[in-house]
Amino acid sequence: MKILVTGADGFIGSHLTEGLVRLGYNVKAFVYYNSFNSWGWLDHSPQEIKSQLDVFAGDIRDPYGVKEAMKGCTHVLHLASLIAIPYSYHSPATYVETNINGTLNVVQAARELGVEKVVHTSTSEVYGTAQYVPIDENHPLQGQSPYSASKIGADQIALSFYRSFDTPVAIIRPFNTYGPRQSARAVIPTIITQLASGKETIKLGAVSPTRDFNYVKDTVQGFISIMNSPNSIGEVINIGSNYEISIGETAEMIADIMGIDLKIETDEQRLRPEKSEVERLWADNRKAKELLGWEPKYGGKEGFRRGLEETIEWFTNPKNLSQYKADVYNI
């Protein structure tokens, strides 16, 4: 097996790439080309990891580069995408180009090259506000932001290649992944970095919506389980903790772990448009358990607290915290 990981320079992608190397896989890391020759978070990986990587710098929007990167690879784990919801409000075209066209480039090349397996990354945002809970894979899809609409489109492109050409595609649908290295545009790093920077009052958007937070180690194991399971081809599989908690309660738990009295101020620029806010997410993960034998090691309230403790430990390391701008709203 030779595995290509697109988006290997990002939050989940870097953890996944490192995990695969540690398990002995032959890994090619597709990183976003830039003039700084930066490999994103992989720059911070241990030297013994980096020395074993085959790194390809390119752009997922370029079909020629994507196909070149995929040559000689048996499996593709496709994570490269634009994911910030607020940024999708004012730059929606880039989401179509990156998320939909980028996915088309991957599955088209997979079809032409005879790749053995493509695992395409979806998101719980495609469900929109839950119409019933817990949310299983048959829940209706709702594009409540340009980002979620682009991911629905990308998912359907990937599935269409399975149905039309028998391209071996599986779709992983992670719920809200969190952990070390996550962008401060996400709520948990936003809370931690503001508190760790000495803020007495932190700024947040809506605190009533609920989420199903999934620790990054569990998400990584979900990818590996789906990649290795012949039962996953043609399937969409939720990877979530099956535990629902509000943003406000999450902030309180973080503050409690950090031993800080919490004060929250609503920041208007952090609020989504009313009809765009996803009010409730809660994963039904039975399919992953039954089909893959996967289940979260950081599930439930106790598991969530354990994951937050590991995340806080990483973010409060001065070397790591210095890479974040806690006083600037990051869309």
**pLDDT for 70-89, tens place per residue?**
999 999 999 999 999 999 99
Average pLDDT, the chain: 97
Per-residue pLDDT band for 328 (boundaries 50, 70, 90) equals confident
Q: Is residue 142 part of a domain?
A: yes
**Structural domain for 34, as ranges:** 2-177+215-241+282-297
CATH of the domain at 59: 3.40.50.720
Per-residue pLDDT band for 240 (boundaries 50, 70, 90) equals very high
pLDDT tens track for 263-319: 999 999 899 999 999 999 999 999 999 999 999 999 999 999 999 999 999 999 999
Pairing mode, strands 245-246 and 210-211: antiparallel
Give the whole-angstrom CA distance, residue 233 versus residue 331: 35
Q: Is residue 79 part of a domain?
A: yes
Per-residue pLDDT band for 168 (boundaries 50, 70, 90) equals very high
Q: Is residue 225 part of a domain?
A: yes
Q: Is residue 62 part of a domain?
A: yes
Q: Is residue 38 part of a domain?
A: yes
Per-residue pLDDT band for 45 (boundaries 50, 70, 90) equals very high
Q: Is residue 260 part of a domain?
A: no
Mean pLDDT, residues 133-142 taken together:
98
pTM higher than 0.85? yes
Burial class (CB within 10 angstroms; exposed 0-12, middle 13-18, buried 19+) of 318:
exposed
Residue 327, pLDDT score: 83
**Number of domains comprising the chain:** 1
Residue 171, pLDDT score: 98
Q: Is residue 205 part of a domain?
A: no
Note the helical H segments in the chain.
11-22, 47-50, 63-70, 85-90, 92-95, 102-113, 146-165, 187-196, 216-228, 247-258, 286-292, 300-315, 318-321
Which residues, 6 or more positions from 281, have their beta carbon under 8 angstroms from its beta carbon?
124, 127, 130, 135, 175, 176, 209, 210, 211, 212, 244
Q: Is residue 304 part of a domain?
A: no
